[in-house]
């Protein structure tokens, strides 16, 4: 509703400006310019702060940017951005810049997003956005393949590995399953081999307790991300433990407050059984294109309603050798005339891929 209201107000402002004879101007800075990079990083931080399960996303490419300017109003930035899923869980305090991007041979997840930002006196802020995710992988015979998050054999591996970790960790804390991040399987001699990534949360029990254990509040609980591999019976497990969510570096991915994760896979207000049937964590409903009326940044205004002011590269000038004769003078004049037109040295968009 807020998104629709925002777009309605923007539409009314544009209509009002037309009635007064004031037209917006549009500029297209280079996608790799500092201005574009700054706006894209604000969008990246906002996306990660809104994403409440799965993994953080890192900016991969700025595909397009345009800036719409109106007199006496904040400039609006329209961006098309490409993000890649990292291996850092959303509750991991590691800054996104230090999180490894998941590679194609591990079935990368890509997010294509449209963002609209307002540039006010307080700085850039997101006013509307939408995203869609899809998997991308290399054609690799024998490489691990994603399986659904409710795969029976994969779930057995998770249960046995978590039980092993609870009995052998040195933290004297019993952990509960928070959510399953990814599960893959690989054909190997002796049968399928499974790989599982899952988030855990500390409970009110010690590692020796056999009572019913209740997960602690996220503000005080310790969390972790476990990597397990093997068959349904445990072969190996390794868990990275990180502190309560409030201990996370607020500069790591915070333009807005991180929404607390409430057991998306087990119970609570965000419990959603349909998540179990997926092969990877899609972005939450607020990132669903069908839930947003935001038009794609590819939809450009007509030439009748806007004034387009593209930023072009510097004109290249070349000196013509000084020789005598009217024919040479005419040719030189003609060559000078041709070269005096703006010459684009390189495409200004899309920008370079930061990863792949």
**82 and 202 housed in the same domain:** no
Determine how many CB atoms are found less than 10 A away from the CB of residue 16.
10
Determine how many CB atoms are found less than 10 A away from the CB of residue 152.
9
Between 223 and 252, whose confidence is greater?
A: 223
The DSSP secondary structure of 1-70, one letter per residue, reads -HHHHHHHHHHHHHHHHHHTT---EEE---TTSHHHHHHHHHHHHHHHHH--SSEEEEEEEEEEEEEEE-
Residue 200's Cβ-count burial label (10 Å; 0-12, 13-18, 19+) is buried
Q: What percent of the chain has pLDDT over 70?
A: 66
* Residues 51-68: tens digit of each pLDDT: 878 999 999 999 999 999
**168 and 132 housed in the same domain:** no
Residues 151, 277: Cα–Cα separation, whole Å = 9
Is 60 exceeded by the pLDDT of residue 143? yes
Whether 344 is in a domain gets the answer: yes
Handedness of CA 308, 311, 313, 315 (dihedral sign): positive
CATH of the domain at 166: 3.10.450.10
Is 50 exceeded by the pLDDT of residue 263? no
Residue 32's Cβ-count burial label (10 Å; 0-12, 13-18, 19+) is middle
What range defines the domain where residue 345 resides?
315-349
- CA dist 55 → 90, 172, 176, 203 (Å): 5, 27, 19, 22
Whether 301 is in a domain gets the answer: no
Residue 284 pLDDT grade (very low, low, confident, very high; cuts 50, 70, 90):
low
Residue 255 pLDDT grade (very low, low, confident, very high; cuts 50, 70, 90):
very low
Taking Cα atoms as reference points, which of 135, 179, 160 lies closest to residue 279? 135
**6 and 131 housed in the same domain:** yes
* Residues 226-239: tens digit of each pLDDT: 999 998 666 799 99
Whether 261 is in a domain gets the answer: no
**113 and 160 housed in the same domain:** no
Q: Please state the pTM of the whole predicted model.
A: 0.75
**117 and 222 housed in the same domain:** no
- 245 near 49, Cβ under 8 Å? no
**Residue 334 DSSP code:** H
**Residue 350 DSSP code:** S
Whether 192 is in a domain gets the answer: yes
């Amino acid at each position: 509703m807020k998104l629709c209201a925002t777009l309605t107000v923007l539409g009314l402002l544009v209509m009002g400006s037309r009635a007064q004879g004031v037209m917006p101007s549009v500029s297209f800075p280079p996608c790799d310019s500092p201005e574009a990079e700054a706006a894209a990083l604000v969008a990246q931080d906002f996306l990660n702060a809104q994403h409440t399960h799965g993994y953080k996303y890192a900016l991969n490419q700025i595909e397009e940017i345009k800036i719409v300017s109106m007199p006496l109003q904040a400039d609006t930035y329209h961006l098309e951005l490409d993000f890649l899923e990292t291996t850092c869980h959303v509750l991991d305090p590691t800054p996104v810049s230090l999180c490894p991007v998941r590679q194609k041979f591990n079935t990368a997840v890509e997010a294509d997003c449209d963002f609209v930002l307002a540039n006010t006196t307080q700085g850039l802020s997101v006013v509307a956005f939408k995203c869609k995710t899809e998997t991308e992988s290399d054609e690799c015979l024998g490489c691990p393949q994603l399986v659904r998050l409710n795969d029976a054999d994969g779930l057995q591996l998770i249960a046995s590995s978590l039980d092993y970790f609870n009995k052998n960790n040195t933290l004297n804390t019993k952990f509960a399953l928070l959510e399953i991040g990814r599960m893959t399987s690989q054909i190997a001699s002796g049968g399928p081999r499974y790989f599982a990534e899952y988030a855990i949360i500390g409970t009110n029990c010690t590692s020796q307790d056999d009572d019913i254990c209740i997960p602690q509040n996220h503000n005080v609980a310790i969390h972790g991300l476990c990597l397990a591999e093997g068959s349904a019976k445990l072969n190996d497990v390794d868990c990275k433990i990180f502190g309560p969510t409030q201990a996370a570096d607020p500069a790591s991915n915070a333009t807005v407050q991180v929404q607390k994760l409430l057991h998306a896979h087990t119970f609570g207000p965000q419990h959603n059984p349909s998540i179990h049937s997926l092969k990877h964590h899609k972005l939450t409903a607020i990132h669903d294109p069908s839930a947003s009326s935001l038009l794609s940044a590819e939809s450009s205004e007509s030439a009748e309603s806007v004034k387009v002011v593209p930023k072009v590269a510097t004109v290249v000038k070349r000196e013509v050798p000084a020789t005598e004769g009217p024919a040479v003078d005419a040719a030189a004049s003609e060559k000078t005339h041709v070269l005096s037109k703006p010459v684009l040295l390189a495409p200004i968009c899309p920008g370079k891929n930061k990863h792949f």
